[in-house]
Every structure is written in C-alpha cells, then in structure tokens.
Amino acid sequence: MLEVRELAFSYRKGSAELFDGLTHSFAPGATTAVTGRSGRGKSTLLYVLGLMLRPTRGDVLIDGRGVGRRDDQSRSRVRSNDIGFVFQDAALDPTRTILDAVVEPALYAGARRRDVLPVARELLDRFGVGGRAGHLPGQISGGQAQRVAIARALVTSPTVVLADEPTGNLDRDNAETVLRALRDCATEGRTVVIATHDPFVLDHVDHVLAL
C-alpha cells in the first residue's frame, strides 16, 4: 500500500509549495492517473513517490512505514526493491543495448546478471520487443522504447510502478499497448500511478487524482 500524508514539497526555500498538504492512498491492484495542468507538480509528485525527492512536509508511506523522509541510502534501498519508475520519453541510455537497459535496475538491487537475463528476456517478449534485445535505443521506435522502459521498471518485480507521461509522444495504437501493459501490472497486484494529461489514459484508468 502506497500513501502520502500531509504532503508538501518546494524545490527551494521560499519557492511555491506544491501539493498543499495532500493526503491520499493509492489503491493497490489498480491504476491511478495523476492529472492537473502543466506546472501543478505531476512529475514532482512521481519523484517524491519514487523517493528521488524528499518531502518538505509530510511523508510517503509504503505498507504503513514512513519512507519518504529517510536518508538517501535508505530511500535508495527502498526504491531499488519496491519501486519501478518509467521516465518521461523512456529516457534510455543511448549507448547500451535494450537488454542491458532492462537488466540494469536488478543489478542495482543486488541481483546477479546471469539470474536476471532470463527475466529481462521474458519481459521483453511479453511486451513484444524481444526481437529488439540487441538493438540500441536509437534503433527502435518511440512506442517500442516506451515498452522497453516498462520492462525495465518491472525487472525487480516492484510493488509500485510509477510512469511519467508514458503515452506522451505515442500514436493511439502504441498508447493503447503501453496503457494495456500498465493495466496488466495493476492486475498482477501492483500499485500503478501514471502522471498524464492524455484524455485517452484518463478514460481507461481505475482512479484519477487531480492536483
């Protein structure tokens, strides 16, 4: 269970405070879209939920434990084990193969490469990009890159999946495929949070949190 309690965040002292003391529980086994106009803090909320930024006020809780305010090392550990992050525009390292991109988060979490490889290959197959494992990110389409990014987020089998505008630059067919992949994550019991202003996504998620 992922929650925020009385959450607020400012990028620096004196700059505008985001989230206004937000308290919210994100439903497990469901997709939640975070919506709101540009600059409201959708991406920032994902970074706070993903423990990359520390709240200025309030906390992030996973299974009832406060984790948002812990030190960097503790937050990194929780992030590696419990959270998968799908960055905006996939954000894959252009110099490394698709397979390596998917394997990497599991190595950070302490797994051995030879144990992770079959898991990574299975995820790539599942999202229809297994044939691209040896390619570089520059050699695949935007829709394929976004599916690779989801495979990468899932390789550690996280309980929480966070996706920032995952359909932002995709045509309808690719957006549908990516959204289906995220909905499948929720069906498996994960908590899925999607920052988006795509009306198509808003129509197909279980819950909407408006900022």
Give contact residues for Mg ion (rule: CB under 5 A). Answer: 42-43
**Only segment of 34-42, 63-71, 78-86, 106-114 that touches ligand ATP (CB under 6 A):** 34-42
The rounded distance, in Å, linking the Cα atoms of 39 and 67 is 25
69 close to 61: Cβ distance less than 8 angstroms: no
> Would you tell me how many other CB atoms lie within 10 Å of the CB of residue 119?
18
CB nearest Mg ion: which residue? 43
Choice from 26, 42, 55, 194 touching ligand ATP (CB under 6 A) = 42
Write out the two tokens for 157. Answer: 């089998």
Does residue 20 bind ligand ATP (CB under 6 A)? Answer: no
The distance of closest approach from Cβ of residue 51 to ligand ATP in the complex, given in angstroms and rounded to an integer, is 16
Length of the chain: 211
The distance of closest approach from Cβ of residue 41 to Mg ion in the complex, given in angstroms and rounded to an integer, is 8
> Would you tell me how many other CB atoms lie within 10 Å of the CB of residue 183?
17
The rounded distance, in Å, linking the Cα atoms of 173 and 3 is 32
The distance of closest approach from Cβ of residue 109 to Mg ion in the complex, given in angstroms and rounded to an integer, is 26
Which amino acid is residue 153, in one-letter code? Answer: A
Closest CA to 49 of 2, 105, 90: 2
The rounded distance, in Å, linking the Cα atoms of 185 and 190 is 6
**Partner interacting with residue 38 (select from Mg ion, ligand ATP, none; CB below 5-8 Å by kind):** ligand ATP
Write out the two tokens for 202. Answer: 């808003």
**Only segment of 39-47, 77-85, 106-114, 121-129 that touches ligand ATP (CB under 6 A):** 39-47
Is 41 or 137 the residue whose CB approaches ligand ATP more closely? Answer: 41
Choice from 1, 11, 66, 110 touching ligand ATP (CB under 6 A) = 11
Is 36 or 142 the residue whose CB approaches ligand ATP more closely? Answer: 36
Is 106 or 193 the residue whose CB approaches Mg ion more closely? Answer: 193
- Residue found by looking up tokens 């309690």 in the block: 5
Is 104 or 165 the residue whose CB approaches ligand ATP more closely? Answer: 165
According to DSSP, residue 135 is labeled S
Residues near ligand ATP (CB under 6 A) are 11, 18, 36, 38-44
